[in-house]
Structure 1
């Protein structure tokens, strides 16, 4: 996807690229995005490009703009890049590449890192809502941030005459590859709530369901937890307050 200068600027603003941050563009082409990141946002701009002619043009553009000391381009395969140092990753290679790269990006980036996906959504990831409002040419994500790895879907009642308490089921949308998933109960009346999840493992873009039964006046929330890469359990996504959803 060829981006205009205006689209580059809007995307970098939506991602909140800051001075001194590490900007990584996949398929950096003739260097328009690298120069904008270095000159207008004062970032350290890094590009990955396969075509030697495009690299030559991009470096010349950086020299002319006076930012060559803050621009670096490597010739290589974007599927083998180390994403770990990046604060902002910009990719506009098409949906097939976005899907292929998603798992490695998810695993290597820090929780605060942002990903700009121009033109196409990354299957299974949850876009930042503020970025959707700020930029209509693409999507911004924080795929390694636990807060954006689970979202809640529709709530449905469970019809069963054998249950002593009202029961419901809620869809749990998973936006990362998660293991040992638990839906925990929080709140003043947590002890009176019974909850069960349909599975303990889910991949990016998959959905599981959590069912619960509780007294009608119980005050509680459901929180999704899963094991992180270092073996610790971490809350993923926000807590869900069933009473608020049922009253809506």
Structure 2
């Protein structure tokens, strides 16, 4: 008979196997619109994860100010952008490959009345100028992060913080790493 610990290990292994399969699929997918590689499928972050990250940033005295720019590479529905702007009163920019997600993000920005603070565009994260960012958010599978990391190194200032949600950037030492809602 399986113990609770055995069942947890089995479930964990199934989740990891599914994530690996999604990563492999994502690396081979192409956008029909612009024929660019997708680094990860859309997977909206739970509000608890977003709130925990912002609280950690505040606690580490890395908070954004009204003069700072928050960038989300692969912004999906814009939830990180909206939450960040509402919390820190900063400006924000999101880039997303999927036109339907960009529309959803823009609709959310409009509903919140934040058009003057948040800009969202359809585009390729690898071709986006993010050199003015104070904080960059990226959710991409580990296999995709090395290419993104190289782009970040060439564009970002030394004091820019990169939040890699879900996976660590190989070769980078994180300021912190923790799990929230199943994400690291």
**TM-score, normalized by length of structure 1?**
0.51
User: In the alignment, is residue 45 of structure 1 matched against residue 92 of structure 2?
Assistant: yes
Of the structure 1 ranges 114-123 and 95-104, higher mean CA displacement relative to structure 2 is found in: 95-104
Q: Does 1:19 align with 2:69?
A: no
1:68 is paired with a residue whose SS is coil
**Deviation (angstroms), 1:106:** 1.4
Going from structure 1 to structure 2, the CA distance change for 1:12 and 1:50 (only over 3 Å counts) comes to same
- 1:7–1:79 Cα change, 3 Å: same
2:144 aligned with 1:97, yes or no? yes
Per the normalisation by structure 2, the TM-score is 0.68
* Structure 1 CA distance for aligned equivalents of residues 54 and 122 of structure 2: 23
In structure 2, the partner of 1:7 is 49
Higher RCO by CA contacts (8 Å cutoff, separation 6 or greater)? 2
Structure 1: gaps spanning 5 or more residues: 140-248
* 2:78 aligned with 1:31: yes
Distance 2:63 2:100 in 1: 28
Alpha-carbon RMSD across the aligned residues, in angstroms, is 1.7
> What is the distance in 1 between the residues matched to 2:96 and 2:75?
6
- Structure 2 distance, partners of 1:17, 1:72, is 20
Matches within 5 A, 1:39-188: 39-128=86-175, 131-132=176-177, 135-137=178-180
| CA offsets 1:188-218 (integer angstroms, 9 cap, x no match) | xxxxxxxxxxxxxxxxxxxxxxxxxxxxxxx
Q: Which entry has the higher C-alpha Rg, 1 or 2?
A: 1
Deviations 1:204-244 (A, max 9, x none): xxxxxxxxxxxxxxxxxxxxxxxxxxxxxxxxxxxxxxxxx
Structure having the higher helix fraction is 2
Instruction: State the Cα distance separating 1:83 from its structure 2 match.
Output: 2.4
Render the CA deviation track for 1:48-83: whole Å, top value 9, x for unaligned: 111111111111111111212111011111111222
Offset at 1:122? 0.3
Higher strand share: 1
The question of whether the paired residues in 2 share the 8 Å contact of 1:31 and 1:58 is answered with yes
Structure 2 residue runs of 5 or longer lacking an equivalent are 1-42
